[in-house]
Structure 1
C-alpha cells in the first residue's frame, strides 16, 4: 500500500500541530508552519516568536523539520508546554492540515517522541504503518501497547510524529481549533490583519479542557 492508500484505509482526516496564539499569527503571516531552525533565522518573527519547547537539544539534527501529529495531538507534550508558558498572555490553538501532506517528499515518520531512545524512523508506507503497530518501544523500560478499541486512525503511541521538512504551506491548512469564542475572534482578526485566505475556525473546548 502507498501512504495515500493507508490514509484512506484508516480514515485519517487531519494532521495536527498545536501552537500558541503568537505562533498562529506567525504561521498566518508567513503562510507557512516553519521548522524551528527557520523560525530562529527569520528576523520578521523576532517579536512574536514563542517556541513550544524550551529545550530541543536532544533532537538537534531534526530542527529543520516540523513536528506533526496524526489525528490527535501529543497530549503529554501539550501539558508540559502549558507549564512553560504559564502566567503569560498566551493561549493555545490547534492547526489542522490536510492528510495529503503525509504523501509529500521527505516526510519521516517516528513511532514515538523523536527524542526517545526507542524511536524508530522511516519514510513512506513502511514508516507510516509502523505508527500503528501492536506495541511501541519508547525506551528500554517503557513500552506502549495498542489499546483495545483505539480508533483505526489514531497512532499506537500518542507521541508518534510525522516530521515534515522545512515548512508546511498554509495552502494545506484546513481549520484552526480554539477553546472559546474570544479566541476565535482573535484568530479571525489575525487572518484579516495579514490578509490570509479564510480558514475554518472551530470552537471545540473539549480538545483543550481534557488536557488541563
Structure 2
C-alpha cells in the first residue's frame, strides 16, 4: 500500500501546524515554514515570527540524535496536538498575540525524508519511521507513550491518529505553496489573516472561522 492509498483509506485531507499571527506573517513573507533550528538563523523571522516554545527537549544533549530533530517542522494529521497547544498558550499568556492553524494539502505526506511518529517526539517510547509503514503505525490500535502509559483508539474517527500527540516530522523547509486554509476563532482574526495573505500574494487560501478546531480531539483513554 502507498501513502496516497492510506490517505484515501483514512480520509486524511489536511496536515496542520498551529502558530501565532506573527508566525503566519513570517511564513507568508518568506514563503516558507521553517524549523525551530532555522528560526534561530533567520533574522526576519526572529522578529516577526515566534516558535511556540522557549525551549525544545530535542535540543538537550541526552535526547535521541539519530537526526537533528530541531531541523524538522512538527505537524499533525487532521487535528492539532491539543496538549502542546495548551502548553504553548500558557507560555505566552498575557502577551499581545493570538493563534491560528495553518492547514496544508495532505499531499505533503508523500514528500521525501519525512518521519512519522507514533506519539509525541519527546516521549521515551516514541517510534519514528519513514514511509508508508510509518504512516500506518500512527493508526494502530494501541500506542505506548512511555512505559506504563498507553492510549487506544477507543472509537476515534479514521482520520485521527491513535495518539492525538502523534507527529509528522517534516524536513526543513516546508513550502507555503501547499497551504490551503487557515483556521481562526473569530471574524476580526479572519479579516486580519485575509489582509496578511493577500498582501503576500496568497489569494486562493481559504480563511475559516472555526473555534472548535482549536479544541482538537484529545484521547479519552
Using structure 2 for the length normalisation, give the TM-score: 0.91
Q: Secondary structure at the match of 2:195?
A: helix
Q: Is the 8 A contact 2:81 2:216 kept in 1?
A: no
> Which of these residues, 85, 100, 103, is aligned with residue 110 of structure 2?
103
> Equivalents in 2 of 1:59, 1:12: separation in Å?
31
Residue of structure 2 in register with 1:155 after alignment: 161
> Equivalents in 2 of 1:21, 1:109: separation in Å?
27
Q: Is the 8 A contact 1:17 1:68 kept in 2?
A: yes
Q: Which stretches in structure 2 are left out of the alignment for 5+ residues? A: 61-67
> Which of these residues, 93, 97, 107, is aligned with residue 86 of structure 1?
93
1:50 is displaced (CA, Å) by 1.6
Q: Secondary structure at the match of 2:48?
A: coil
> Which of these residues, 119, 124, 142, is aligned with residue 112 of structure 1?
119
Deviations 1:101-147 (A, max 9, x none): 00000010000000000000101110000000111010002111111
> Equivalents in 2 of 1:6, 1:106: separation in Å?
18
> In the TM superposition, what are the counterparts of 1:20-99 in structure 2 within 5 Å?
20-58=20-58, 61-99=68-106
> Equivalents in 2 of 1:153, 1:92: separation in Å?
23
Q: Secondary structure at the match of 1:158?
A: coil
Q: Is the 8 A contact 1:16 1:70 kept in 2?
A: yes
Q: Is the 8 A contact 1:59 1:114 kept in 2?
A: no
> Equivalents in 2 of 1:10, 1:195: separation in Å?
32
Indicate the larger mover: 66-75 or 197-206: 197-206
Q: Is the 8 A contact 1:111 1:119 kept in 2?
A: yes
Q: Is the 8 A contact 1:67 1:161 kept in 2?
A: yes
Count how many residue pairs are aligned between Structure 1 and Structure 2: 210
Q: Secondary structure at the match of 2:214?
A: helix
Using structure 1 for the length normalisation, give the TM-score: 0.94
1:209 is displaced (CA, Å) by 5.8
Q: Which stretches in structure 1 are left out of the alignment for 5+ residues? A: none
Residue of structure 1 in register with 2:63 after alignment: none
Q: Secondary structure at the match of 1:97?
A: strand
Q: Is the 8 A contact 1:136 1:157 kept in 2?
A: yes
